[in-house]
Amino acid sequence: MDHIDYYKILDVPKSASAAVIKSAYRKLARKYHPDLNPGNKESEKKFKEINEANEVLSDPEKKRKYDQHGNDWKHAEKFEQERQQQSRSSGNGKEQFAGEDFSDLFGSMFGGQQGQGRQGRFRGQDLNAELNLNLSDVYQSQQQTITVNEKNIRLTFPAGIENGQVIKVKGHGSLGANGGPAGDLYIRFSIYNNTKFKRDEKNLYTDVDLDLYTALLGGEVLVDTFNGKVKLKVPPQTQPGTKIKLKGKGFPVYKKESEFGDLFITYQVKLPSNLSAKEIELFTELSNLKNEK
């Protein structure tokens, strides 16, 4: 059987580190991937060779066996067992296989069938995708149909997904070779905040304007939450920057839709403008009363 040089296939030296081997494999796999070369039998063959070389060289134990036994690395353990057995029976293992060629030795051990079945099953490539959603889209779980490799996949995305979060969809990557399993699909979410709320994980933050009279005298104010409006009582003499917490009115926790964070409101007091002459007169009177104390 002709020797297959995995190092030559990946175009790396025998001394290449794991990182160099990984980088070389990814570069070649992208170049010869069947999805990018539809109908090209030569690229398909090359892709299989690249996957086979990577499977061996990226695994320290397989790489050790390959470096020691070449194409017959898969039978290394059988060879060692046979060698030890012969050594025990002869009492001189060092001379037992002297002058024998490894390929001839494995041929005798396995009936000359070492060339059969060497085309292994290879796992398909993982794929990466980015999905853009609005913040209001991820307040509740929803279903979306995405297209991967010309195949429509209907997925359910749990509420509470974070901006930049990556989820794995098992088995929806590229198809494997020789009946091997498919790779996985990794989806990265880019969440655009289309609301007036600031989100920090499960909590929400917003500002609410109070007119001067409500802030001074107290009253009620209607405020927006993420899923509707609520009426709040404002105590008299509420100061600008006063913060309140509405428990359970924040964002749903990822994969725990019944659990919510809190909504934090900061009151901003707005001064009146375009005062009438009478209003100016009254404010002046109030100022004078204040100064008389």
Long-range (24+ apart) CB contacts under 8 A made by 31-37 are: 33/125, 33/174, 34/174, 34/175, 35/149, 35/174
Q: Are residues 165 and 91 in the same domain?
A: no
Q: Are 235 and 252 in contact (CB under 8 A)?
A: no
Q: Are residues 139 and 217 in the same domain?
A: no
Q: Are residues 205 and 168 in the same domain?
A: no
Phi, psi of 259 (to 5 degrees): -110, 125
Long-range (24+ apart) CB contacts under 8 A made by 84-87 are: none
Q: Are residues 240 and 164 in the same domain?
A: no
pLDDT of 77 above 80 = no
Q: Are residues 54 and 149 in the same domain?
A: no
Q: Are residues 204 and 149 in the same domain?
A: no
Range(s) of the domain holding residue 275: 198-292
For 193, which DSSP code? -
In a domain, 116, yes or no: no
Q: Encode 47-85: b = buried (16+ Cβ within 10 Å), e = exposed.
A: bbbbbbbbbbbeeeebbebbeebbbbbbbbeebeebeee
Overall average pLDDT of the 38-44 stretch? 82
Q: Are 251 and 202 in contact (CB under 8 A)?
A: yes
Cα 257 to Cα 213: distance, rounded to the nearest angstrom: 39
Cα 184 to Cα 169: distance, rounded to the nearest angstrom: 6
Chain-centroid distance, C-alpha 39: 31
In a domain, 120, yes or no: no
Q: Are residues 164 and 229 in the same domain?
A: no
pLDDT digits (tens, 9 = 90+) for 188-245: 888 999 999 999 999 999 999 999 989 999 999 999 999 899 999 999 999 999 999 9
Highest mean pLDDT among 71-85, 177-191, 250-264: 250-264
pLDDT of residue 81: 59
pLDDT of residue 38: 78
Q: Are residues 147 and 168 in the same domain?
A: yes
pLDDT digits (tens, 9 = 90+) for 128-156: 888 888 999 999 898 888 877 777 888 88
pLDDT of 267 above 90 = yes
Q: From 74, 109, 144, give the residue that closes a domain.
A: 109
In a domain, 1, yes or no: no
Residue 240: CATH number of its domain: 2.60.260.20
Cα 189 to Cα 165: distance, rounded to the nearest angstrom: 6
What is the value of pTM for the model shown? 0.53
Q: What percent of the chain has pLDDT over 90?
A: 25
In a domain, 22, yes or no: yes
Q: Are residues 204 and 266 in the same domain?
A: yes
User: Using 50, 70 and 90 to split pLDDT, how confident is the model at 115?
Assistant: very low
Domains contained in the chain, number: 3
In a domain, 114, yes or no: no
pLDDT of residue 283: 80
